[in-house]
Structure formats: C-alpha cells, structure tokens
Amino acid sequence: MSEIAATSIVDKSARIGANVRIGHFCVIGADVCIGDNTTIHNNVTIVGRTTLGAGNTVFPGAVLGTQPQDLKYAGEPTELRIGDNNIIREFTTFNPGTANGKSLTQIGSNNLFMAYTHIAHDCSIGSHCVFSNNASLAGHIEIGDYVTIGGLSGIHQFVRIGKGAMLAGASALGQDVPPFCIAQGNHATLKGLNRYRMRQLLEREEIDRIAALYKRLFSGKEVVREAAEDCLRNNEPYSELVAQFCTFVLQSTRGIPVMNRTRKDDE
C-alpha cells in the first residue's frame, strides 16, 4: 500500500504503483505514472506525461516533466520516460520532448543524477551513468551506458557521447565523444581513454584493440574519417566494439574534438 503525505497534491488521474512513498508538499499531475517501490521526498513536482519506473528515489526540490525550455514548443503532448532504480537528487530538472525532436525524453535505469543536474528536451540517456553536480545537457543529446559527466559541465545540443566515456568536470563540450574516451576542457578535447571503465566492462584483448585504434585515429598522423573507414574495412579478426567505435566516428555530424597536435608532439 502506498503512503502519501496529507500536505501533498496528487491528481486523482495519476497512476501510483504499490509501496510508493510521497512526502510532504509534493505536486503530482494528472498524466503522471509512478512505478512500484518509488520514494518521492518532500517538495517534489512531477507533471506532464511523465512516467517513472520502479524503485526510483527523487529528492527534495526536483522538478520533472515541466514544459521544455524551447521557444518552438506550442503545448503539444510530449513525454518524459524514466526507467528503474534511478537516484534523482535535489533540484534536478528533467524536461519532456518536443514535436521538433522525438516528442520524447528517455532516461534509462540505475543512474545517479546529482544535485542541480539538468536534462533538456529530446535527450536520450542510457543506464548506469553518473551525472555530477550542475551537469547541464541541452536538447537532443544522446548519451550511452556507463557514462560519467563531471560537475559544472555543459553539453551542446545534438552532441553524442558513447558508452563508457567520461567528460571531466568544469568542461564545455560541443562535439561527439566516442566510446570509452575521456574529454576535458573548455572547449573540451579528447584526453585519452577511460581505462577505469574499460577494465570494468571489457576483456584485456578488447582493451588493447581499442587502445591501438584510439592511437591510430587521434594521433594526428592520419585524417580521422579516412583512418576510421580503413579500420572498419580491415576489422580482422572481427571485433564488434571496433566496428561500433569506427561507426560512431563516421556517423558524427558535429565532429570529434581531437586536440590539435604536431608531428613533434607524437615523436
């Protein structure tokens, strides 16, 4: 049986799962769906077509599902979908999608969103990610699984970040970060590989192949796109991860933030 504080306003049309706890002074709108075993602490606002899966924890001051911060938004029905077992800390803000995008902001499961994280309209977030304090995402951003976003970092709209990558703190990112790479700075550039995450998720052979691929693509000795095409053609013995890495690079429309380097730097 769910427990709802007397001072909270929960619309009669909202769908509340089993064993849900809603603290004092919350506002839950008509089209909201909250999954089983979710805890909503005090002073939380959840409105719009917002769905939370099971086992989520939402801390005070969070605002989920209010209309997108997009001047083109005209009140059309769009959605915010959140998976299971996410920790959503104080004063986070998640916006739904827009008709100009996918009409959907999608968030996976088992993520940690620290205080003041902002997820804008039409973003797609994977699972097992960590967003540190004041991480801010503009619209239409795609982030894979096991990604870490450092505190006080901002990401430009339409940027993609691949699985297992990391954006260091106080960075401003305007281009795509391939899987398992680290980017840092303002404006952020690639700084190496996220070997910590690679050791957690990959076998030694795959780590070595990605390390060799990274060195070839981003050493400054070859044109990145041409090198990625060649690696994709000659991916023998076949590695799915190498194929995904090269495809990510080739599909980039914003480009990869490779640091300008001279031949002397590589010697």
Dump pLDDT digits (tens) for 198-224.
999 999 999 999 999 999 999 999 999
DSSP string, the chain: --EE-TT-EE-TT-EE-TT-EE-TT-EE-TT-EE-TT-EE-SS-EE-SEEEE-TT-EE-TT-EESPPPS-TT--S---EEEE-SS-EE-TT-EE----TTTTSEEEE-SS-EE-TT-EE-TT-EE-SS-EE-TT-EE-TT-EE-TT-EE-TT-EE-TT-EE-TT-EE-TT-EE-S-B-TTEEEEEBTEEEEEE-HHHHHHHS-HHHHHHHHHHHHHHHSSSS-HHHHHHHHHHT--S--HHHHHHHHHHHT-SS---PPP--HHHH-
Determine whether 41 is an active site residue. no
Question: 55, 97, 108, 139: which is the annotated catalytic residue?
Answer: 139
Query: What is the model's pTM?
Result: 0.96
Determine whether 122 is an active site residue. yes
Determine whether 121 is an active site residue. yes
Question: 118, 121, 128, 140: which is the annotated catalytic residue?
Answer: 121
Asked whether residue 123 carries a pLDDT value surpassing 90, the answer given is yes
Domains and CATH numbers, the chain: 3-140 (2.160.10.10), 198-266 (1.20.1180.10)
Percent of the chain residues topping a pLDDT of 90: 96
Question: 84, 122, 145, 176: which is the annotated catalytic residue?
Answer: 122
